[in-house]
Chains A and B, each alone.
Chain A
Amino acid sequence: MDLAVVTAFGIVYAIATLVLLALGLAVIFGMMGVINLAQGEFLMLGAYTVLLATAHGLGVWVGIALAPLCVGIVGLLVERAIIRFLYGRMLDTMLATWGLSLALVGIVTLVFGPTTEGVATPLGFFTMGRYSVSYYNVFVVGVTLAALAVTYGLFNFTRAGLVARATMQNAGMVAGLGVNPAWVYMGTFAYGAALAGLGGAIMAPLTGVVPTLGLAFIAKIFITVIVGGPVILLGTTTAGSVLGFVESVVSYASTPIYGQVAMLAFAIVLLRLLPQGISGFWRRGV
């Protein structure tokens, strides 16, 4: 019984991390259509924010709170400096952000060194029968739900979200109604970056902080968002659940590496069957 509950929680936790990490990309790629290959590096910068905060005695929680802010600002600068010239040129966007990704990994390696730095996991454990479960993992699931709810609410129930969705559908019409689409793109991109910063910060105590942190996740999160399809948030959540389930089950049965391989193979077969992604046939929405 205990084993079943703990395993089930482990699967929920794996799904939650996948969805949390993919959420920023769902906004940037799913909604704006910007293939941002530097998304993994946004995660990495979020993790480094936590590392810096703890190194300066601010504590993990302050770091986690600061990360979305810092990475959001980085996202803003990136959008202004690179992305805004490349809207509508998807391939070029992809190549430029790839370059950005390489450069960011290189720069962070030069500044902080190539070693993995640990951040102590806050909170403690509670025991369930013979097994112990970390409170932090419960916290991760909670943060994921909160981030999903906030993002969903923001895009569906606020004026800013309405304008953002309208801009993605028809930028010319929005401009005609007196809103500058450039500002909307900038804001949405920054919000996606901030979400990535949050995800990276949350992961920092769990995975350790290393310049190549993003590489471990970039493949997974892109596959999740692609499989998610056009209904961005619910699709990504569903895809994250399915893929996270496959990955964690196979990981339990063999090794995490085979878990990733199984997840990828499953996703490719799924895309053969549902080329539009899981939510391809749903009613459109966010």
Chain B
Amino acid sequence: MSHGISHNGEHETSPSTFDNTGKLAAILIGVISAVAGLLMYWFNPLLNNAASLQGTYIDDLFGVAMGIGTAVFFMVQGLLLYSIIRFHRQADDDEDGPPIRGNTKLEIVWTVVPALVIIFLGILSYQVLVAAERPDPDELIVEVRGFQYAWQFYYPDYDITTSEMHLPVDRPARLKLRSNDVIHAFWVPAFRIKKDVMPDRVTETFITPIEEGTYPIVCAELCGAAHSAMRSQVVVESDSSFKQWVSGQGAAVARASEAAETDPMAQGRQVFNQNGCNACHVLADAGAVGQVGPTLNNIGAEAGAMVPGQAPEDYIHAAIVDPNKFVVEGYPANVMPSNYGTTISEADLKALVDYLMAQK
């Protein structure tokens, strides 16, 4: 049983609470925390180099936050560990500790100092935000379309549409994002840039790539069954390679429309790729390597045998507009979007069915 200390015990200075050992430990913990924080700020080891100008701003800010966070972490854990080791109750000691109920000065300090640190971090964050979203008159505009489960990029300056994004290095780009169906989020981890892609409005984000290379584009907002397969990539290249790529794409478009006269399959192939079928299915003719749904390389030959009594054209048509009607064994239902009947025009749908029928 503990024995009460009289009420004036409050004023007693207690040797065991903040003696020289305690002071020394507190100072040591403070120094270690500061050093750890500075090291973390300096090396910023958790992030690889950013590939965009905005990313470098964000990384610098992250480094500052990481430095402060590391210092706070070491300080709290240090004080905690020191207390656990030092103030362990002795086995035969049933006395209470010193009745200290507070210390106004200390309490003001640990309210005001964190508030100042927070204000500092807030101001810094605001500056970075303004810098990261500054428009530029020389912007390259890219219109990004997200749909279940693929990305599409339209370059209004060149009138080309692609399923892979290309950006010239060091030239600011403004992305205008829009979704065909649910909310997606356009994220390029290497750029540190993420923006939700909404069905009912256009959102914008700014990227100035500074490092040539190929980086993944990831959908970061849950968008349905094949959310994790909704990926693409962005190629950052020199201005000349970019121009070459653009003219190549332009030529491909021209070829396709020319070919449409002679090659009845061109339209179907285009419908296949522009509606994201390529994101989930394998189809050699269209260069599609998606891993979510069944392989379609021989669909024209196989369709007739899928459902007894069903004409192959009807089977393919149904499988597109009502994908849950005949789910291929080994693949889950409710993965493929069920609204292609409304999003693809009647003519395009016919071209797509004809195209798939020809895959034998």
Do A and B come together as binding partners?
A: no
